[in-house]
């Protein structure tokens, strides 16, 4: 039997964290298989949570509670002068070109001039379309910008979407709940969040709908207020689908649409929604269209050579 203690400032903070009549506390006890005892010091007003159970269960429950408490306190704290709070409040401030500091302390930043223009465009436009080959940072930089906006409270949530071309957008024959059905298709987005937040924090935010996963087929009829929306693999959308995604934007929302026009998995003869959107939205105020090339590939150095070799072969044939 292991015991661990977490201190809260006062009773109001305990209510915000644990809910009325400790509803959230009971959920945690059920989810993690631990006992949580709440006691308040009559003199100081400090509230102590004592978690008891097996070492592994207490460790997981304690980590989840501390993450939720950290997020609660960040939301309650006044914003700093730069309008951005890093994930770890004890971390040094970001350098001028930094977008986000990961849970390991690494600074995420653009690596090429085109990537810098892309990041700047996301910051200054409500809608940014990014077109470029694999490995150019389209998704990774969009996630970094989304988390920066979330941490600085410029948005209230992040919405992730991707066309599920292989499953015909119906998802009905795949086993499991909605998250399990779309997990194989959204894995590249998950990887970016895991790298920046760590898997535990990402799962906590996903479970609390701070990060919401919405397959494109399920977006019709919804409006996302104060959200940072990311549509990945947009080359696999139809013109009707991408129009539907773009018109989900509500007040205070931003959207990034990313895709590689050279990797279209749509049926033969079908028009790509990404290509159509670039044509239709060119010159529209509030919309930025950014193009990245093989020179912006930030993966293994061999990836750039592979892309150039394929381009050369395509040009000859």
Q: What is the pLDDT of residues 147-184, one digit of tens each?
A: 988 887 788 899 988 887 553 444 455 555 555 666 66
Which region, left, alpha or beta, applies to residue 177 given φ > 0 means left and ψ of -120 to 50 means alpha? beta
Same fold, 2-76 and 100-316: no
* Displacement of CA 93 from its chain's centroid (Å): 21
Looking at domain 2-76, its CATH superfamily turns out to be K Homology domain, type 1 (3.30.1370.10)
How large is the average pLDDT for residues 74-94? 51
Task: Please report the DSSP string for 103-169 in residue order.
Answer: TTSPEE---SHHHHHHHHHHHH-SEEEEE--TTSSHHHHHHHHHHHHHHTTSSSEEEEE---TTTTT
Partners of residue 52 on adjacent β-strands: 3, 35
- Which helix (H) or strand (E) segment holds residue 180: the answer is helix 178-197
Instruction: Read off the pLDDT of each residue in 72-91 and give the average, rounded to a whole number.
Output: 51
pTM for the full predicted model = 0.65
Q: Residues of the chain with pLDDT > 70: what percent?
A: 85
Q: Is the pLDDT of residue 46 over 80?
A: yes
pLDDT at residue 35 tops 50: yes
C-alpha 35/C-alpha 53 separation (Å) is 6
What's the rounded Cα separation, in Å, for the pair 90 and 288?
35
DSSP state of 258: E
Q: Which has more pLDDT, 257 or 105?
A: 257
Domain ranges of the chain: 2-76, 100-316
Give the Cα separation of 140 and 136 in Å (integer).
9
Neighbouring CB atoms inside 10 A of 190's CB total 18
Task: Tell which CATH architecture fits domain 100-316.
Answer: 3-Layer(aba) Sandwich (3.40)
């Amino acid at each position: 039997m292991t015991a661990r203690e977490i201190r809260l400032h006062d009773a109001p903070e305990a209510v915000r964290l644990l809910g009325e009549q400790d509803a959230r506390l009971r959920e945690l006890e059920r989810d993690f298989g631990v006992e949580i005892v709440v006691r308040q010091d009559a003199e100081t007003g400090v509230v102590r949570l004592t978690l008891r159970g097996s070492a592994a269960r207490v460790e997981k429950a304690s980590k989840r509670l501390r993450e939720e408490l950290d997020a609660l306190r960040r939301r309650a704290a006044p914003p700093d002068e730069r309008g951005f709070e890093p994930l770890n409040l004890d971390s040094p401030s970001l350098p001028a070109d930094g977008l986000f500091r990961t849970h390991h302390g690494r600074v995420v930043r653009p690596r090429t001039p085109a990537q810098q223009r892309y990041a700047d465009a996301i910051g200054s436009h409500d809608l940014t379309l990014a077109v470029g080959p694999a490995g150019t940072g389209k998704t990774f930089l969009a996630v970094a910008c989304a988390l920066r906006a979330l941490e600085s409270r410029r948005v209230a949530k992040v919405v992730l979407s991707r066309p599920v071309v292989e499953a015909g957008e119906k998802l009905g024959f795949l086993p499991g709940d909605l998250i399990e059905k779309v997990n194989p298709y959204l894995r590249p987005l998950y990887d970016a969040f895991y790298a920046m937040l760590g898997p535990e924090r990402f799962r906590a935010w996903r479970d609390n709908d701070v990060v919401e996963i919405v397959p494109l087929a399920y977006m019709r009829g919804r409006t996302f207020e104060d959200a940072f929306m990311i549509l990945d693999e947009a080359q696999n959308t139809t013109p009707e689908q991408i129009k539907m995604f773009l018109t989900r934007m509500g007040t205070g929302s931003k959207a990034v649409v990313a895709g590689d026009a050279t990797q279209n998995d749509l049926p033969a003869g079908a028009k790509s929604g990404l290509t159509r959107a670039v044509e239709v939205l060119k010159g529209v105020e509030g919309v930025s269209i950014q193009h990245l090339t093989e020179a912006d590939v930030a993966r293994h150095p061999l990836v750039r050579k592979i892309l150039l070799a394929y381009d050369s072969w395509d040009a000859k044939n």
